[in-house]
Amino acid sequence: MTENRFDPSIADGRWQRAWDEARCFEADSNSDKPKSYVLEMFPYPSGRIHIGHVRNYTMGDVLARYKKMRGHEVLHPMGWDAFGMPAENAAMEKGVHPGGWTRDNIANMKAQLKRIGFALDWNREFATCDPEYYGHEQALFIDMFNAGLVYRKESEVNWDPVDNTVLANEQVIDGKGWRSGAEVEKRKLNQWFLKITDFADDLLDGLGELKDWPDKVRLMQENWIGKSQGLQFAFELSDGQKVEVYSTRPDTIFGASFVAVAADHPIAQGVAVDNSDAQAFIEKCKAGGTTAAELETAEKLGFDTGIAAQHPLDPNVQLPVYVANFVLMDYGTGAVMGVPGHDQRDFDFAKKYQLPIARVIASDPADADSPLTEAESGDGVLVNSQSYDGMTVDEAKAAIISKLESQGCGEGKTVWRLRDWGVSRQRYWGTPIPIIYSPDHGPVPVPKDQLPLELPEDIDFEEPGNPLDRHPTWKHTTCPISGKPALRETDTLDTFTNSSWYFLRFASQPGDKPFDAEEVAKWLPVEQYIGGIEHAILHLLYARFWTRALKHMGQIDFGEPFASLFTQGMVTHETYSRQDSGREVYFTPSEVERGGESAVLKLDGKPVDIGRVIKMSKSKKNVVDPDDIIETYGADAVRWFMLSDSPPERDLPWSEAGIEGCSRFVHRLWRLFGQFDAGASGDDKALARKTHQTIAAVADDIEALSFNKAVARLYELTGATEKAKPSTTRNEAIRTILLLASPMMPHLAEEAWEQLGGEGLIAEATWPEVDEALLVDDEVTIAIQHKGKLRDTLTVAKGLPKDEMEALALASEKVQRLLDGAEVRKVIVVPDRLVNIVT
């Protein structure tokens, strides 16, 4: 068999068909085996599988195949996050129907995924735009509505006054609409919200049990939820009103030099009634984007209302009241006390409007009068704070809260940064919100027996805005209670709702309800969830919220959907571009011939600029098509590349040389498998030890998702086996490599398994047993250091006592030379590791 060459173009398809026919990746929920639910974040069907998807799904695939070899019943499903804006954009640009466009994309991408040989249970595939799926989602929305978890309130959107349409944040560029170029305004609309804040405490507490989530993700969620303890209190105003403010730093109250309210705060609105300057300022605040990043990086602007606020603890102090663009109506009370000395935003504001900047916290009380050049947010003791001077920050917080509580004008309060989740979208391609506005009964849910409430097919994208709202008949219906004519809600749900429960639908797909509780209980929680770090907060928090909401409503009995989370890095590549009449024009790597330091465009042979290595993206054209590389190198080489070298949580730079190296290794393994020598005899202790150490190490590495390390170990064992003389041990090593590599290179593994006469499919084989006795080496190499610097190494018996190690080290010739009779002051001995001699 050494003669024949491994040909992926034949083997890949052959084994993919064999797996399908054997139905070996279909999950059996009646199995007695321990279960493993391996899930990768499902893709948006943009048209082509992206190399980032390939990396993500390869990782999950290796784990799924490995778990199967370890005797688990594995659920490894795939589906499509199929609603969203790109389909509508395609409809507007190309005149295609969003549904048809999406279906075509799904068909293409599914074929692409098949060509990579993923061990997926395609029986459970669905798309979120299937009426069956979104119908069940509507039912869940109605359940949440009935459970009091849904409400309507006014909320701001980006409004394009030219296109008369709502813009997503990404459609606002430098404060202008992406198509019209018009200045974007903030406009208020009545929108639907889910009460995620009801679960704020629980979502925060739950992070504690997510031991197998990255610390960074838990920290990001914790900060996002943003629980803070503070003081809410009222300032009496010179016009007789009061204004409630909230502060997490009540200890700095004597440093307050102004009060600021949000532009849509009632005080601001009241002032604007007969003050055109105030009106103009509020209008100005409404211009520009709505994102937090924009608000917080924008120049701090204020409008002095002329109102004065009485300081609650110092009768001699009155503070000016400003309307300020950096105060958010959504957080706390929509009004703050400005303490320039200890908050940088307030500091910037005070500088601009020449307000006093007082120090009220100092790390050393002697510094009480040292001026501040920037806000100091550090710890210390109070100064310039009357009777509170000398208290620590924590003491002062407590004392000032209780003082204001006793005065009856304030109270200690917990405030959350987390806001309720606005789910209304003024778009067509999403789940229709199943609500009917009844003339007599207000908003009422669509009766469940009328679900799914389907999107109309006949829509037009001739003009911007929501085609559902423009549709001639769709929104006209009758009130389910009175039967009178009524209108449907024409907003659709945020696509994040689609991905907030799909993992339940993969576990069970009854026709008459969203999921079967028993089946869900069998499969959930997901043992291993894998996806991009960009979902660290929103998607993962929303999915956790839905799971809790379903538990709250008694539909399931667990609160955390994902037991273990892994966030993989991006696939990156340098960019190629040229300046062309003021615009940067990008070229794909396949259009470019890359030299050592330079690159030229194949088309005209002229140089192009080489840009930095960044995330692959369509706009920068630094992408490679998985189909192209699979055709050239085969699925196994591509899979191997996805797993090699870069740690999976870090970015993976795509490289032509790298994939070629992987392809060579595939063929190198094939040749090694060909050297299986049934007639060989004899043992090889060293190789046996290496083999069993590798079995254990690769298993540990895969369980830890450290695929790059598993790959390195397989390289090492391959090298050692190639060098070894024929023996039964060598045959065992070859067989072992085949089994260990099979989750990563399943096509090659099947082909070789067949040639070596393995039973059945290797996809259904068992992971090799480790001989524990062979794991431990009996000799170790120890380091001999002099004052911490390596001077010599010695090979000694493992477990050699400390004093013997010391004696051996001191006797070493090099050490003797170095010491040259000097006095040994100290010797540090670490068993099996090193001896450090200090003189």
Please, which of residues 174-233 interact with RNA by CB under 7 A?
A: 189, 191, 215-216, 219-220, 223-224, 226
Q: Which is nearer to RNA, 535 or 621 (CB)?
A: 535
* One-letter amino acid of 621: K
Task: Note whether 345 and 305 are within 8 A (CB).
Answer: no
Residue 165's SS3 state is: strand
If one counts every other C-beta atom within 10 angstroms of the C-beta of residue 233, the result is: 28
Nearer Cβ to RNA (151/715) = 715
- Comparing CB distances to RNA, the nearer of 352 and 664 is 664
Q: Least distance in Å: CB of 688 to RNA?
A: 19
Residue type, 163: D
The smaller minimum CB distance to RNA, of residues 651 and 754, is found at 651
Decide: is 665 part of the binding site for RNA (CB under 7 A): yes
Residues in 60-99 at the binding interface with RNA, rule: CB under 7 A: 81, 83-86
Q: Which of 50, 115, 176, 425 binds RNA (CB under 7 A)?
A: 425
From 265-273, 424-432, 477-485, 734-742, span contacting RNA (CB under 7 A):
424-432
- Interacting stretch for RNA, rule CB under 7 A, among 142-150, 266-274, 502-510, 711-719? 711-719
- Residue with structure tokens 């958010």? 328
Q: Tokens for 250?
A: 């009540």
The residue from 776, 790, 811, 822 that contacts RNA (CB under 7 A) is 790
CB of 92 to RNA, least distance (A): 14
Residue 332 vs 445, nearer CB to RNA: 332
Please say which residue, 19 or 676, places its beta carbon nearer to RNA: 676
SS3 content of the chain, % helix, strand, coil (to 5): 40, 25, 35
- Contact by Cβ (8 Å): 796, 818: no
Question: Which letter, b or e, does each residue of 365-374 get, where b requires 16 or more Cβ atoms within 10 Å of its Cβ?
Answer: eeebeeeeee
CB of 784 to RNA, least distance (A): 9
* Residue 661, phi then psi, degrees to nearest 5: -60, -40
Handedness of CA 116, 121, 127, 130 (dihedral sign): positive
User: Can you tell me which of 120, 652, 740, 763 binds RNA, judged by CB under 7 A?
Assistant: 652
Question: CB 277 → RNA: shortest distance, Å?
Answer: 27
Assigned token pair, 294:
């924009």
Question: In the set 495, 575, 622, 721, which binds RNA (CB under 7 A)?
Answer: 495
Q: Which of residues 353-392 bind RNA (CB under 7 A)?
A: none
Query: Would you give the binding string for RNA spanning residues 795-814, x where CB under 7 A is met?
Result: --------------------
Cβ nearer to RNA, comparing 519 with 631: 631
Tokens, residue 805:
């190690």
Q: Which is nearer to RNA, 470 or 615 (CB)?
A: 615
Q: For tokens 């790390």, name the residue.
A: 363
Element of type H or E holding 690: helix 685-703
CB of 453 to RNA, least distance (A): 20
Q: Is the dihedral of CA 457, 463, 469, 473 positive or negative?
A: negative
Nearer to RNA, 129 or 479 (CB): 129
Element (H, E) at 269: helix 266-272
- C-beta closer to RNA: residue 344 or 370: 344
The answer to whether 831 touches 799, Cβ cutoff 8 Å, is yes
* 622 interacts with RNA by CB under 7 A: no
Q: Which of residues 260-299 bind RNA (CB under 7 A)?
A: 290-293, 296-297
Contact by Cβ (8 Å): 258, 350: yes
Q: Does 551 bind RNA (CB under 7 A)?
A: no
Judged by CB under 7 A, the stretch of 142-150, 177-185, 516-524, 609-617 that binds RNA is 609-617
Question: Does residue 644 bind RNA (CB under 7 A)?
Answer: yes
Q: How far is the CB of 576 from RNA (least distance, A)?
A: 17
- Per the document, the length of the chain is 839
The Cβ of residue 23 has, within 10 Å, a number of other Cβ atoms equal to: 11
Site string for RNA, 454-483 (x = CB under 7 A): ------------------------------
The two tokens of residue 771 are 């001989």
Applying CB under 7 A, which of residues 658, 674, 726, 758 lies at the interface with RNA?
A: 658
Q: How far apart are CA 829 and CA 159, in angstroms?
A: 71
Residues 107-126 that bind RNA (CB under 7 A): none
Residues 6+ apart with CB under 8 A from 203: 196, 221, 225, 418, 541, 544, 545, 548
Helix then strand count (H, E) for the chain reads 25, 36
For the CB of residue 268, give the shortest distance to RNA in the complex, in Å.
21
Residue 807 CA to residue 256 CA, distance in Å, equals: 70
The DSSP-derived string for 31-51 is: --SPEEEEEEPPPP--SS--H
Q: Contact between 650 and RNA (CB under 7 A)?
A: yes
Q: Which is nearer to RNA, 289 or 410 (CB)?
A: 289
What end-to-end distance do the CA atoms of the chain give, in Å?
Answer: 63
Query: Residue 577: exposed, middle, or buried by beta-carbon count in 10 A (0-12, 13-18, 19+)?
Result: middle
Spatial CA neighbour of 378 closest among 363, 398, 364: 363
Q: Which of residues 322-351 bind RNA (CB under 7 A)?
A: 344-345
Bridge partner list, 578: 585
Contact yes or no for 242/308 (Cβ under 8 A): no
| Closer residue to RNA (CB): 26 or 222 | 222
Q: How many chain residues touch RNA (CB under 7 A)?
A: 95
Nearer CB in complex with RNA: 158/736: 158
Using CB under 7 A, which of the segments 458-466, 479-487, 549-557, 660-668 binds RNA? 660-668
Q: According to CB under 7 A, which one of 575, 646, 736, 742 is a site residue for RNA?
A: 646
Q: Which is nearer to RNA, 646 or 729 (CB)?
A: 646
